[in-house]
Structure 1
């Protein structure tokens, strides 16, 4: 049996066998099967949480999605990012003729075959996203969203030889160094904290011999972190929401309303100009965002009408209204949900599928409205100083 991509750790009378895999590598899946069958471990840990485990095991999960509930619970952006990441993995997997996550599926099947206990060792993906989202600021959010969405348009291919090289320790450390430099605020919740969580779950797994099926990027960190004790409860805490977004969210509307009200009282003509500027900038940019998403004409009109009002209320968003109208006018059917897994392979599929188009309407209408708030607000202030 080849020891390539395998790290063995002996600690406190237990043996831990870490298999560094690529999530779209056929060789990784074969190696997982070989190692588990030969080592016959007491437990097999896989880099999945409960939600992703259910997603892998239940191929029909999309049929049960309630798109109105997704919009209502403000999860459109999260779901869109999930699908974008999925599209990149699926495109890579399709290139090599295997399922994405095949090595995890193989780990699950092999564990059952030899009677090993299966341990879902990764942190809940919702918590990871939450800790990322609340820790990177507005600029980081925009950059991350652009980077992830950009992966949909990428046509880049990679050879299986290059994929195997990517699993080596030197290559992984080099990639992590580049990742840290590009997105320094992402590395901690996405890599470092999960290394700690995975290490503790692997260390706590039952039995004397443990096999862990992991993405190669996590192996160096886990090798180091498994020597320490980590508080899992602390690692799954959702960070407290910053007060600043709420303060800014209420301050901007309050300032805009106060300026327009004062201007109307002093000079009704200028006050009318300010109001029109606010309505046109907010409404137009939200409508343009909806149009870029190829939204239904009524969804575009809804975005235009809703944005000037929703921008004055932090509890509301133009995209929710536009997305709701889009979902009503172009309600997805079973075929759309069934095609979702394939349609996320390409930008064309994202725009053509009724499910992802609704998500795009929500996200792009909100982005347009947000830009409109700052541009329209700046123009309101400009007119105020110009005339007074």
Structure 2
């Protein structure tokens, strides 16, 4: 029996109020034994203690700081357009885990490691990424329904994989592997505590959902003979 039997993966748009409501509805409805979210310790602390960083401050940390600054600004811009701060659905999952009294797990790769991998990208991909990041200063279209945004997102992910093969591998595929392994470890730990049929809710970005589910489905969980 695959690990996917024990894990329900919620794919969210990080800046969508509809995603936040879906996370709330599913977690309260499922009443899981554990909640897992697409964050590491540094981003978990940042989301709990939000602070604005000026570009001048980011420059003090060199290329790594500038890349993190650009990524933050992109999320902030999207949050303004959709009426939701970046990571609102993650905060919802964090709060609900506390409300239900179940363990909360941080399953994503360390942001510093991710940033260092980005810095090792081929020059062509880094240049394209920089140019496309400038779009953060351009007004976005009027608000749309989430289903329409998801359709555009699927096309965007396909295009991203074609234009940025290296970045797609390190930002999507490798993180899928890491998060899936962490979810497998969570299920195993719950089973070791005597929970025969553990139920884990994982809240991740929409671009990671299918990849994580595919990995979980390919791994078989140990079933007690009892």
Q: Work out whether the TM-score is over 0.5.
A: yes
Task: Report the equivalent of 2:224.
Answer: none
Q: Who wins on radius of gyration, i.e. which is larger? A: 1
Contact 1:21-1:167 within 8 A present in 2 as well: no
Bigger share in helix: 1
Distance in 2 separating the partners of 1:84 and 1:37: 35
Q: How far off is 1:182 after superposition?
A: 1.4
Q: 1:125 aligns with which of 106, 111, 131?
A: 111
Paired residues for 1:233-272 under 5 Å = none
Q: Which string of whole-angstrom CA distances, capped at 9 and with x for unpartnered residues, describes residues 314-353 of structure 1? A: xxxxxxxxxxxxxxxxxxxxxxxxxxxxxxxxxxxxxxxx
RMSD between aligned residues: 2.5
Match of residue 155 from structure 2: 174
Question: CA 1:129–1:228 in structure 2 vs 1: closer, same or farther (change >3 Å)?
Answer: farther
1:138 matched to 2:129: no
Q: Of 214, 224, 228, which residue of structure 1 is paired with 2:214?
A: 224
Pairing 1:214–2:199 present:
no
Q: Does the residue aligned with 2:7 lie in a helix, a strand or coil?
A: strand
**Change in CA separation of 1:61 and 1:175 when aligned onto 2, cut-off 3 Å:** closer
| Matched residue count | 209
5+ residue gaps, structure 2, are: 191-197, 220-226
- After superposition, where does 1:156-167 map in structure 2 within 5 Å? 156-161=140-145, 163-167=146-150
Distance 1:131 1:81, change over 3 A: closer
Q: Compared with structure 1, are the counterparts of its residues 184 and 19 closer, same or farther at alpha carbon in structure 2 (3 Å cutoff)?
A: same
Larger RCO: Structure 1 or Structure 2 (Cα < 8 Å, ≥ 6 residues apart)?
2
Distance change in 2, residues 1:133/1:107 (3 Å) = same
Deviation at 1:151, TM superposition (A): 2.6
C-alpha distance 214-51 of structure 1, shift in aligned 2 (>3 A): same
Q: Deviations over 1:150-197 (max 9, x none)?
A: 133221225331x333446xx655332211111122110011001111
